[in-house]
Amino acid sequence: MGRLSGKRAIVTGAGSGIGRASALLFAHEGAQVVAVDRVEAAVDETAEMIRKEGGKVSSVAADVSEEAAVKGFIEHCISEFGGIDILYANAGISGGMVPLHEQSVDYWKDILAVNLIGPFLAIKHVSPHMISQGKGSIICTASVAGLRANAGGTPYSASKAGVISLVQTTANEFYGTGVRVNAICPGLIETGMTKTIFDGARARGSDDKIGQLNPLKRYGLPPEIAQAALFLASDDASYVNGQAIAVDGGLSSTHPFAGRR
């Protein structure tokens, strides 16, 4: 028996990185998974990986910032697997590091649409189903960039701060319903989103400095975030609600520093 046996879960951004790692782990732990990503080939590949391990999965290509698409993949999960117990709103974009005075309104809108409106829509449309059954776990990917400065660009950081607030406010809005809402705040994780950082460091021969600002002096990997998501999705976290949990090697426990021995 896995930790998610009998559970029905949706994971967005499941075509790569944290989303793929989480979808694979959820399925390994017994969940029936709807894997969602806007890149059809990528999410189909994730689904095939799950099937090869004997898991139950359905893949959906969708844009999490479009309300009809969000309603669609939630209804798909209910139709395909008979209900929904877990929704991990993980999909996100970084937008890169554009100087403040070069940022346009459209640039902000694009990032906010995926990173903040996307989780809002997921919570809006999944919560009635969870409330009706008296339980459910909603998880959102925020970021240490949403906790304090210097971990991401301005609109990205603002969007992730918004996710943290969204989680806190909706957890309280669902007072007495049995529905839990939490966020994970990853630190520097090697994913497609951070590829330019890693590629640049390796090209300069400074691989050993990647992640040096946290007490563990290393970067993280998608499966390490997936383990946090598994905890929040499972009944092991039955008394965890309205929290933004940093999984960052200790980066957010202090102010940034240049380096220590």
pLDDT score at 250: 93
DSSP readout, 86-150?
Answer: EEEE----------GGG--HHHHHHHHIIIIIHHHHHHHHHHHHHHHHT-EEEEEE--GGGTSSS
Fold that domain 8-243 belongs to in CATH: Rossmann fold (3.40.50)
User: Over 70: is that where the pLDDT of 200 sits?
Assistant: no
156 given a catalytic annotation: yes
User: Over 90: is that where the pLDDT of 203 sits?
Assistant: no
Residue 12's H or E segment, with its range, is strand 8-12
From 88, 107, 156, 175, active-site residue: 156
- Which residues 6+ apart lie within 8 Å of 5 measured at CB? 29, 30, 31
99-111 mean pLDDT: 94
Domain ranges of the chain: 8-243
User: Over 70: is that where the pLDDT of 211 sits?
Assistant: no
User: Over 80: is that where the pLDDT of 201 sits?
Assistant: no
pTM equals: 0.93
pLDDT score at 151: 82
Distance between CA 150 and CA 21 in Å, rounded?
A: 26
Structure tokens at 94: 């970084």
Q: Is the dihedral of CA 58, 61, 64, 68 positive or negative?
A: negative
160-181 mean pLDDT: 98
Indicate the average pLDDT of the chain: 93
